[in-house]
């Protein structure tokens, strides 16, 4: 099966957030399967001052996946379009059996879907939480017009819409209720996010951040956004001097200043630590050092960081609004909470009272079957094959 993935942003454009990681790991997992070959079409958008320094002349192997980067023109931060990609797609889309399109609000996605339809190549749309009612409030009128006049057309003709869970369907507020959906969690690299050897785990982590040996590290990894409700986390830990909150993410943002100001008012300056962005082994070391990982967003389509933390042996505390929670309801190392500082504080206290020590391997093993890359890639391939079989029967 020859699969083409079309996405406006891709590795190493990590500044664009979780969707880039989701698409990169999806491509790698599918390409590793013995019955499939994957090609990626993307742009050189970086969400930084300069575009990605990538080869635009020929394909590049990104973790073994042939990847074509096309110039995004002047749209370096939003990646709305690539004339070169569209030209290439028109000439080559017939070489593929099925196309996965991850570009809902970009004209690139609409145009790619129309080309697929013209050449009778089935396509799957990955919406990655972008239909959330709450997110649609930004530029509401513009998005409503775009949906009514363009998106509806490609939604109707899509072979399926990929969602990561029931929360995503609910958040869409009826926009995808009448269409065929396939529900599969995001694929996460189980071999990358793992438990480190003891000497590497520590890396003087507590000493670097001046955290006492017996204090509890509560870790959160997210982009700076008021919807992540780090402010509630700060309020929740304020009554227990044993709790330290570490925020990993971009610190060059006004919301981070607001969090720091709140920590100062709560007399938590020394117990609220902002590390900035961490990558590679440094991020994995942070997960490994966490006594508990927390993400209490007001809205979260899936949240790969929650699974990453569990794979690194850290129990998690998440809000009811975090989509991945539906897969973790029975997990003994997952706490699901309402967005209330007193409830969160009590849940943290109760958890640490009951769990004086945590076996990291048990935490990791508790989710390996659910989020196995092999298992999830098989689900994608089975669904894709069913789509192709349906197409064949119609001919």
73: pLDDT confidence band, cut at 50, 70 and 90?
Answer: confident
The residue written with tokens 């809205």 in the block is: 299
pTM > 0.85: yes or no: yes
Above 60 in pLDDT, residue 395?
no
Above 90 in pLDDT, residue 130?
no
301: pLDDT confidence band, cut at 50, 70 and 90?
Answer: confident
Average pLDDT rounded to a whole number, residues 309-317: 97
pLDDT in tens, 246-298: 999 999 899 999 999 999 999 999 999 999 999 888 999 999 999 999 999 99
207: pLDDT confidence band, cut at 50, 70 and 90?
Answer: confident
393: pLDDT confidence band, cut at 50, 70 and 90?
Answer: low
Q: What percent of the chain has pLDDT over 70?
A: 97
Whose CA is closest to 34, among 377, 383, 270? 377
Q: Is 30:37 a contact under the CB 8 Å cutoff?
A: no
What pLDDT sits at residue 391? 75
Question: CA-CA distance, 231 to 233, in Å (whole number)?
Answer: 5
CA distances from 203 to 21, 214, 308 (A): 26, 17, 19
332: pLDDT confidence band, cut at 50, 70 and 90?
Answer: very high
CA Rg, the chain, in Å?
22
CA distances from 278 to 190, 246, 272, 283, 284 (A): 18, 12, 16, 5, 9
Could you give all domains of the chain from N- to C-terminal order, each with its CATH number? Answer: 2-189+372-394 (3.40.50.2000), 198-368 (3.40.50.2000)
CA distances from 354 to 86, 287, 289, 331, 348 (A): 57, 21, 19, 16, 10
Q: Is 8:108 a contact under the CB 8 Å cutoff?
A: yes
394: pLDDT confidence band, cut at 50, 70 and 90?
Answer: low
The pair phi, psi for residue 180, each rounded to 5°, is -70, 130
CA distances from 305 to 293, 297, 309, 310, 391 (A): 9, 12, 6, 9, 36
């Amino acid at each position: 099966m020859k699969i083409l993935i079309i996405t406006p942003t891709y590795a190493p454009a990590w500044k664009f957030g979780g969707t880039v990681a989701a698409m990169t790991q999806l491509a790698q997992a599918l390409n590793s399967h013995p019955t499939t070959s994957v090609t990626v079409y993307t742009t050189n958008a970086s969400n930084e001052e300069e575009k990605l320094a990538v080869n635009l002349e020929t394909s590049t192997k990104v973790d073994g996946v042939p990847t074509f980067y096309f110039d995004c023109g002047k749209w370096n931060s939003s990646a709305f379009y690539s004339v070169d990609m569209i030209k290439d797609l028109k000439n080559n889309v017939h070489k593929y059996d099925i196309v996965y399109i991850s570009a809902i609000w970009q004209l690139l996605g609409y145009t790619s879907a129309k080309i697929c339809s013209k050449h009778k190549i089935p396509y799957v749309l990955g919406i990655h939480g972008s239909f959330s009612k709450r997110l649609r409030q930004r530029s509401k009128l513009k998005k409503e017009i775009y949906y009514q006049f363009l998106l509806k057309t490609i939604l109707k003709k899509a072979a399926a819409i990929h969602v990561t869970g029931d929360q995503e369907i609910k958040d869409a507020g009826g926009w995808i209720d009448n269409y065929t959906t396939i529900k599969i969690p995001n694929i996460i690299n189980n071999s990358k996010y793992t438990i480190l050897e003891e000497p590497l785990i520590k890396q003087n982590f507590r000493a670097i951040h001046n955290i006492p040996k017996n204090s509890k590290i509560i870790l959160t990894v997210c982009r700076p956004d008021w919807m992540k409700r780090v402010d509630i986390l700060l309020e929740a830990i304020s009554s227990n001097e044993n709790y330290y909150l570490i925020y990993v993410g971009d610190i060059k943002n006004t919301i981070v200043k607001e969090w720091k100001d709140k920590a100062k008012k709560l007399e938590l300056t020394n117990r609220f630590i902002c590390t900035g962005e961490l990558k590679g082994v440094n991020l994995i070391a942070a997960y490994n050092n966490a006594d508990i990982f927390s993400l209490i967003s007001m809205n979260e389509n899936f949240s790969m960081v929650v699974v990453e933390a569990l794979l690194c042996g850290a129990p998690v505390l998440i809000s009811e609004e975090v989509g991945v929670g539906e897969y973790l309801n029975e997990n003994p190392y997952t706490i699901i909470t309402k967005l209330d500082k007193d409830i969160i504080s009590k849940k943290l206290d109760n958890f640490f009272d009951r769990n004086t020590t945590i076996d990291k391997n048990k935490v990791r093993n508790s989710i390996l079957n659910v989020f196995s890359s092999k298992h999830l890639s098989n689900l994608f391939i089975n669904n894709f094959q069913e789509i192709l079989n349906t197409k064949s029967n119609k001919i």
